[in-house]
Structure 1
Amino acid sequence: MTEPAPPTAPPAPGPWQRATVLATHPETATARTLRLGLTAPVPHLPGQHYLVRLVAPDGYAATRSYSVASAPDDSGEVELTVELLPDGEVSAFLHDVLEVGDVLEVRGPIGGWLAWPGDTPALLVGGGSGVVPLMAMLRHARRTGASDLIRMVVSVRTPEDLYYASELPGPEVTVVHTRRAPPGDPRPPGHLRAADLPAIAPGTTAYVCGSSGFADAASALLVEAGMPVTAIRVERFGPTG
């Protein structure tokens, strides 16, 4: 498999297409990653998302948006990580019912605001499931030898809540635990603070993703650290089920 550079501008999303579930694995007790084989692959930028549509036998349809966690490549496959939400009709099906070999309807890739072109300095700040689109950026940077352009700060409640736990750690990444830290962690549990942020290189764009409260707090810390508001891109995640 080769790792081509992503497109320099977000591609226009294609029509709805069929995607076959090739593999699944758990990230946490309430998060599951799906690897999908696309019928009509379209190159994506790290940070974009796909729509997933479920249609019931009676014609009722439910559509949800899920960020791409995988880096761009030429495999024709993408990975989406799904958080199981209370009473979520779509997330519950994708998390608990969907099996390898099943077929979904998807449309994408979509979004340009949070998309990283892959060749500019970036500070990634994610809270909880907000790490998903940022993981696509980190994976792309590592695969293309551009890790020096990326710095990442991830905020989670406990070690068990950390997505991509076996892959995420590295010199580019700082993990902040807000409720319970692992043994030996020199940082006591607590909310993200200014001291957790790395030095901000000139020309850096910040990509912030998480709940509305987390996004507001992280953005305020970045502004206090001297980052121009125009250099901060925010995507808020909300419970859509």
Structure 2
Amino acid sequence: MTEPLLGLGGRRAPAGGWRTATVAAVDRPTPRGVRLRLDVADRVEHLPGQHYVVRLTAEDGYRAQRSYSMASAPGDPQVELFVERLEDGEVSGFLADVVEPGDVLEVRGPIGGWFVWDGESPALLVGGGSGVVPLVAMLRTARDLGRTDLLRIAVSARTRALLPYAGELAGSGALLALSREPNGIRRAGRLTAEDLVPLVEPGQTGFVCGSTPFAETASRLLLELGMAPADVRVERFGPSGGPA
């Protein structure tokens, strides 16, 4: 099963139906986040930027499901999800607090054909908080392809300890804008146009992912810096939003 992949030369994005996934590993790298490594039966290879739906079913038949972006590159034999625990989050709370290695989950994916990177064209990746997850998949894909030169990355969080994949992103040369603490010579503060100016280059596609307020602000900054609206792809998340 496939769905359209816009803007990438007529290629089509892969899509998968419901599968069972066995939890291979669980760790909690941030105070409110859990990283899950999944062995997905009959896994359909994904593109960086796509997501999975996780569905939980209670004993009384009640179901709840949420979407989560993948951090894993297509070449990874497992699917890696990062889940931020939300207040009163039915699915995120279970995944963050209850799930253990060996558990079996219902999942559907990969899903999505708009917020994906083709691995061939220059891109500016801008993420806030757990919105960095699909950008990490893009970074890992670029590393596998030997094309990290195509990516420029800026990410934002309150503190480094709260930023998923902070070490991996910093090691890649990403700009880390921390609003509650300094980062090197950069003073504490939110992401600004001044931060992004050195990262903007002709021909880039902008990928912006984060909460609705962050996504709106970051995409506006890219437009103010001269990026065409058609070249900016935005993915928002939240308690009732899309992928997180």
TM-score (norm 2): 0.91
Measure the CA separation in 2 of the matches of 1:199 and 1:104: 40
2:218 aligned residue: 218
- What is the match of residue 191 of structure 1? 190
Native 8 Å contact 1:9 1:117 kept in 2: no
> Within 1, Cα distance between the matches of 2:139 and 2:30?
19
Q: 1:150–1:172: 8 Å Cα contact kept in structure 2? A: no
Q: How many residues align?
A: 231
Q: Give the match's secondary structure for 2:170.
A: coil
Residue matched to 1:157: 158
Question: Tell me, which stretches of 5 or more residues in structure 1 are unaligned?
Answer: 1-7
CA contact (8 A) 1:159 1:181 kept: no
Conserved 8 A contact 2:153-2:199: no
TM-score normalized by the length of structure 1: 0.92
C-alpha distance in structure 1 between counterparts of 2:225 and 2:195, whole Å? 11
Q: Give the alignment's Cα RMSD to 1 decimal.
A: 1.5
Report the CA distance between 1:74 and its aligned residue. Answer: 5.6
Q: Read off the aligned partner of 1:137 and give its amino acid letter.
A: M
Tell me the amino acid that sits aligned with residue 51 of structure 2.
H
Deviation at 1:223, TM superposition (A): 1.0
Mean alpha-carbon deviation: is it higher for 166-175 or for 146-155? 166-175
- For residues 138 and 9 of structure 1, the distance between their equivalents in structure 2, rounded to whole angstroms, comes to 21
- Tell me what 2:89 maps to: 88
List structure 1 runs of 4+ shifted beyond 3 angstroms.
Answer: none
Q: Does 2:236 match 1:233?
A: no
The CA distance in 1 between the partners of 2:16 and 2:144, in whole Å, is: 26
Provide the rounded CA distance (Å) in 1 between the counterparts of 2:48 and 2:141. 7
Q: Quick one: percent identity of the two aligned structures?
A: 58
Instruction: Give the residue type in structure 2 aligned to 1:227.
Output: M
Post-superposition offset of 1:238: 1.1
Instruction: Give the Cα separation in 2 of the matches to 1:206 and 1:170.
Output: 21
**2: CA distance, partners of 1:167 / 1:202:** 26
Question: Quick one: which amino acid aligns to residue 58 of structure 1?
Answer: D
